[in-house]
Chains A and B, each alone.
Chain A
Amino acid sequence: DAKTTQPTSMDCAEGRAANLPCNHSTISGNEYVYWYRQIHSQGPQYIIHGLKNNETNEMASLIITEDRKSSTLILPHATLRDTAVYYCIVRPDYGGSQGNLIFGKGTKLSVKP
C-alpha cells in the first residue's frame, strides 16, 4: 500500500473549519483514500473515503487533488468533540493482496474553545 504523510498535530478554534492535509504521492490508480479518527480511549471510527472525486457526508468533506497525490479532510464546523487523532490511509477498496489497513501516526487535532 502507498504510504501517507500527515502533520503530527494541528489546532483549530471551535466553530471554525478544520482542514487536515495528507500527502500520498505514490498512490496507485486503484487505491482509495480513507480517513479515520480515533477519539481518546475509543476504537477508530470511519469518516469518509474517495477515489478521485470530492466526497461529502454528514461528518466531513474530502477534497482530492486532480493528480491524486494529496487530499484534505474538512470538518466544516469543528467542535470540542472532534478532538482526536485523524488517520489518512490509502488502499484498494475491493480485493487487494493485504487484508489489513495500515494506520500511520496520524494528525492529532486539538479543537480549542
Chain B
Amino acid sequence: GAGVSQSPSNKVTEKGKDVELRCDPISGHTALYWYRQRLGQGLEFLIYFQGNSAPDKSGLPSDRFSAERTGESVSTLTIQRTQQEDSAVYLCASSVQGNRGKLFFGSGTQLSVL
C-alpha cells in the first residue's frame, strides 16, 4: 500500500477482554515501531522490530502487552485482560533499515476500554 495501514481504526472493548491491533507497514520497510498516545499526552514508545525480531521491547508497560511480526510484514499488538488505563491511540510506524530516523506513521487505532 501507499502508507502504513492500521486496523481497526476504532476499538471499543470491555475491561478484562483481550484485543488485537494490526499494522501493515509500507512494503520494503524492515523496521516497525509501536507507540501509545494517551489523550492529551505525548507519544510513548512500546516496541521496535527489525525484521521479525524485537531488539527493543523496553516500552511494553506490562506482561499483558505483547507483539509479534511476520517476516518484514504485518505486526500485531495484543493486549490481554484490558484495563481502563489502556485506553489510548496506538500508533504504528515503519522505516527503511538505513534511515531509522525517518518514520512513516499510520493513523492509529483508538482503543477505548469501558
Chain A residues close to B by CB (< 8 Å): 32, 34, 36, 42-46, 49, 89, 91-96, 98-106
Tell me which residues across on chain A come within 8 A of B31, comparing CB atoms: 99
Contact partner, B105, options A45, A91, A98, A104, Cβ 8 Å = A45
Instruction: Assess the A44–B105 pair: CB atoms within 8 A.
Output: yes
Number of interface residues of B (CB under 8 A): 25
Which interface residue of B31, B43, B55, B59 has the most chain A CB atoms within 10 A?
Answer: B43
What is the interface of chain A mostly: helix, strand, loop, or mixed? loop
A32 and B101 contact, Cβ closer than 8 Å, known pairs A43-B91, A99-B50: yes
Stretch binding the partner chain, chosen from B13-21, B60-68, B70-78, B92-100: B92-100
Chain B residues close to A by CB (< 8 Å): 4, 31, 33, 35, 42-43, 45, 48, 50, 55-56, 59, 91, 93, 98-108
Tell me which residues across on chain B come within 8 A of A34, comparing CB atoms: 101-102
Instruction: Assess the B101–A106 pair: CB atoms within 8 A.
Output: no
CA A46 to CA B4, docked complex, whole Å: 13
Beyond A95-B100, A100-B48, 5 additional contacts (C-beta under 8 Å) are A43-B105, A44-B43, A91-B100, A93-B101, A103-B43
Chain B residue at minimum C-beta to C-beta distance from A102: B45
